[in-house]
Structure 1
């Protein structure tokens, strides 16, 4: 048993455990309940840090590293538009009692642009409010039962999706037994699970893993669209949805701004097409930042200022990420993609702490390579890994610190008679 050092003035810090698996009901609930629980490292000046004991310094540096690795999700003008549309659609559908098909939402954009985190945050905020509204009880529960209440279900589309594997992925979220079930049984089980758990929103991530040239994927898309009969808001998240072929049978309604898709052609065999109602989706793009107008530059700089507030470097000056040419440099390194920016800043902070630089400079960041070749859980063939801008070329003799060694002047050096061409 160890006792705490009475002179230890740093915040008690416990390394976070393994991240929750949001693809299960228990994991989703754990993530939703703890998503804002992380306490960042306190702000210390260099003089205060030097007064700490070696152990305290080590713990504080570890806490700072964890802080930079768990930067909070920042809202952007693009994510705010997505949140407004998605939250409004889920809320409207949740209180709708008409036996009509609920309109869905499609969120598109490039890889590492925050689509998944934005959608999950919106869904979690809705679930928080919905549970509080109903006193954490399922208002649709069968009398005499105690079904788990799960207003939101989050599922990742299987890499090689088929109707059966997609149904099993959804049922896996609820922990349902899928053994010895054929497709009609699986579909009925999905319908019953959504209803029994009071699910109001079904998030299907990485939907563009479907390839429309494959018959199995076409069947899967038809099945997913037929799920809209289950009185649940379908939220499809994917990279470049317009270019993926998912909308090839649809038509755009300029009056409502929605994409209208015809009824499924194959899902009728699953017993999910009792009506000929067309499926409607609101398509919205979560785009990257731009840097070509004063408004875009201002938005990018404001985002950098917000990010800077969460960094814990001992020598960081005000405007570290926003002054001078730093905003343009960071944009050039990340192409305005928030996920790449977070990776660059996180690795840069780690380098700054390790070298004692304790600030982010262009020289420090030049030494950081953004490598996404082995990104876990990403399918490069589906566009989930973006193109990373090239790392700046470092010239010979460049050092990673903010000060470079000044070369000695040799103008007045006496190089001897040989150098001057004289004979001895």
Structure 2
């Protein structure tokens, strides 16, 4: 293979390198929403690879690593169910602005795809609105159908408003007073005709603490002032008393959040039932088609369904971690396929590693 031909792998890497956008800014969110799919990468045989120069082979293997680490979002049972629940709640988003909308709470253990569900749904919604109404509002503002707000540990009411203003790129985000921040946030949401606000990592808020209760009350206030649907994402939010607003005992029954918000649970895959086993195998089959190895073949993953489940406990985050690393090892060791021995060799995330060793 000529050097000119071989250089295409380096060119592919330049054009398809891992995305570096920041979803917490309108520029980063817009880049995510409008990102084009990667150019398909050619599968070379072992013989083809022997004809590559050392640098060409290095570029091709790096290109394969990028490809293998970025599979498409699979339409799993969990994702379909979550979309159905969000669609039902979004039906109230068609209400006039003077009427309250509902909220969705994607609540589950770690590594089950909560953020992926929220961001993919929000991306699809964003694209649909822009297609129908265009990139500008009638007043000439940039139309931003979705705002994405990831929280951090110790987030306060002021901190959350500041993050929201930073998403819109408002110049007063760092110098406005606490009272001004809330009013400016409402103005940004209204001017840009935002209809969905995704608040991720909500589990960082301690709803039993005074600051957490302030954030909870502020969220209810924003829901009253903003004609938007909130999509909350977090780990074990029910256990953290999000729905009860930190209240205890009989007082929890009066929590408004519990009436306004709809919980959407995301469960891990199970193989103890026939439908569960089928869903797990279907996921593996879909991922299997994406993997780019010289000796990849049908059944490469599905034949090891039980082993992969034992090693990941059915958590899609742990599964993708394992497959990224298995593909890397398959290339690095010239195995060029995924075998049971290779799966056992992979060191994955701590939780999956610990639970697999005790099962």
> What TM-score results when the alignment is normalised by the length of structure 2?
0.90
Determine if contact 1:108/1:286 at 8 Å carries over to the other structure.
yes
Match of 1:58 in 2: 58
Match of 2:317 in 1: 339
> How far off is 1:343 after superposition?
0.5
Match of 1:22 in 2: 23
Determine if contact 1:20/1:28 at 8 Å carries over to the other structure.
yes
> How far off is 1:7 after superposition?
6.9
Give the counterpart of 2:190 among 188, 195, 214: 195
Q: Could you report, residue by residue, the CA deviation over 1:326-363 in whole angstroms, capped at 9, with x for unpaired residues?
A: 11000000000001000001101101111111111121
> How far off is 1:158 after superposition?
2.7
Report the structure number with the largest CA radius of gyration: 1
Match of 1:75 in 2: 75
User: Deviation above 6 Å: which 4+ runs of structure 1?
Assistant: 7-11
Aligned residues: 349
Determine if contact 1:334/1:340 at 8 Å carries over to the other structure.
yes
Counterparts of 1:408-419 in structure 2, within 5 Å, are: none
Residue 166 of structure 2 is aligned to residue 167 of structure 1: no
Separation in 2 of the partners of 1:294 and 1:114? 22
Shift in alpha-carbon separation, 1:249–1:22, aligned structure 2, 3 A: closer
Report SS of the residue matched to 1:137. coil
Residue 227 of structure 2 is aligned to residue 221 of structure 1: no
Separation in 2 of the partners of 1:183 and 1:204? 20
Q: Which shifted more, 332-341 or 360-369? A: 360-369
Determine if contact 1:250/1:261 at 8 Å carries over to the other structure.
no
Separation in 2 of the partners of 1:248 and 1:342? 34
Separation in 2 of the partners of 1:260 and 1:167? 28
Residue 111 of structure 2 is aligned to residue 151 of structure 1: no
Separation in 2 of the partners of 1:234 and 1:158? 18
Q: Could you report, residue by residue, the CA deviation over 1:118-165 in whole angstroms, capped at 9, with x for unpaired residues?
A: 111111111111111113332xx43xxx21111100001231021111
Residue 246 of structure 2 is aligned to residue 247 of structure 1: no
Residue 98 of structure 2 is aligned to residue 99 of structure 1: yes
Separation in 1 of the partners of 2:202 and 2:355? 29
> How far off is 1:11 after superposition?
9.1
Match of 2:294 in 1: 314
> How far off is 1:117 after superposition?
1.2
Determine if contact 2:106/2:264 at 8 Å carries over to the other structure.
yes
Match of 2:176 in 1: 181
Determine if contact 1:65/1:350 at 8 Å carries over to the other structure.
yes
Separation in 2 of the partners of 1:8 and 1:238? 44
Residue 49 of structure 2 is aligned to residue 49 of structure 1: yes
Give the counterpart of 1:353 among 325, 331, 338: 331
Determine if contact 2:312/2:352 at 8 Å carries over to the other structure.
no
Shift in alpha-carbon separation, 1:120–1:334, aligned structure 2, 3 A: same
Residue 341 of structure 2 is aligned to residue 363 of structure 1: yes
Separation in 2 of the partners of 1:165 and 1:388? 36
Separation in 2 of the partners of 1:66 and 1:101? 44
Give the counterpart of 1:305 among 257, 263, 285: 285
Q: Could you report, residue by residue, the CA deviation over 1:180-220 in whole angstroms, capped at 9, with x for unpaired residues?
A: 42222111111111101110001000111111221011111
> How far off is 1:88 after superposition?
4.3
Report SS of the residue matched to 2:4. coil
Gaps of 5+ in 2: none
Report SS of the residue matched to 1:118. helix
Q: Could you report, residue by residue, the CA deviation over 1:77-122 in whole angstroms, capped at 9, with x for unpaired residues?
A: 01111112224433x3443225111111111111111111111111
> How far off is 1:9 after superposition?
7.5
Separation in 2 of the partners of 1:25 and 1:7? 38
Counterparts of 1:118-129 in structure 2, within 5 Å, are: 118-129=117-128
Say what the alpha-carbon RMSD is for the aligned residues. 2.6
Determine if contact 2:243/2:255 at 8 Å carries over to the other structure.
no
